[in-house]
Amino acid sequence: MSSATATHTEAHPTDLAQLPYGRAGMWWFLASEVLVFAGFLGSYILQRMAHGGWHDHMEHLNARIAAVNTFVLVTSSLSIVQAHAAVDAGDRERARRFLWITVALGCVFLGNKAYEYSTEFHHGYFPWTDTFWAFYFIMTGLHGLHVLVGVLWNAIMATATNLPMWPAVKHRVEYAGLYWHFVDVVWIFLFPLLYLS
């Protein structure tokens, strides 16, 4: 090995060790989740076309609550962006505040969805009622489960801002943000397909 090559190798001995493996892992995970939701959405669209649009079923959905939930999730995307910006700026207090705001907005979304489900159950609509309601409850239920995971993750990160371990884990706010944006994007597809079209 020449001295120039040796010097170049020694100048960057930890390049591979510094790759953001967590970020790459999160993108791979999100790609697999995209396939799951794309499968459900594609199947829903094909079944809907085959059954004449399900307009009579969709009249029973509460588009107002869904619109409020859309506003809530879009706002929560802003708060998680602010949390990540605060982490980059080294502002632990601000990061904590925006993480808790994201958690609160996620809880509002889940509360609205629980109310909406209870209304549907009260009117006799269940996943086993027919194909439309099966798709509705499976897709929104799976999405709600993802929101719950995001709420728990952001709550853990917000709690970690008070702990000595924070400097070692603060970069994970970025991964939580990627996940949360994915949850928002999925809802942006579900909202018009289920409630507006």
Per residue in 85-125, pLDDT (tens digit) is: 999 999 999 999 999 999 999 999 999 999 999 999 999 99
Please report, for the chain, the start and end positions of each structural domain, with discontinuous segments joined by +. Answer: 21-196
In this model, does residue 174 exceed pLDDT 60? yes
pLDDT score recorded for residue 161: 92
Lowest mean pLDDT among 9-13, 60-64, 180-184: 9-13
pLDDT score recorded for residue 18: 54
pLDDT score recorded for residue 159: 95
pLDDT score recorded for residue 106: 97
> What is the token pair recorded at 33?
């989740």
Mean pLDDT of 139-151: 97
String of b and e for 48-61 (b: at least 16 CB within 10 Å)?
beeeeebeebbeeb
In this model, does residue 27 exceed pLDDT 50? yes
Query: Please, are residues 195 and 58 in contact by the beta-carbon 8 Å criterion?
Result: yes
Among 118, 143, 111, 124, smallest CA distance to 44 is for 143
119-126's contacts with Cβ under 8 Å and 24+ in sequence apart are: 119/62, 120/60, 123/60, 125/60
Give domain 21-196's CATH number out of 1.20.120.1760, 1.20.120.80, 1.10.240.10, 3.40.50.620. Answer: 1.20.120.80
Label residue 56 by pLDDT band (50, 70, 90): confident
Which residue has 């591979």 as its token pair?
A: 16
Mean pLDDT of 169-196: 94
pTM as predicted: 0.86
For residue 91, give the amino acid letter. Answer: D
| Angle, CA 151 vertex, CA 123 and CA 178 arms, to 5° | 115
Residues composing the chain: 197
| Angle, CA 51 vertex, CA 46 and CA 57 arms, to 5° | 110
Average pLDDT value over all residues in the chain? 89
pLDDT score recorded for residue 21: 80
Query: Please, are residues 64 and 165 in contact by the beta-carbon 8 Å criterion?
Result: no
Mean pLDDT of 52-58: 83
In this model, does residue 1 exceed pLDDT 70? no
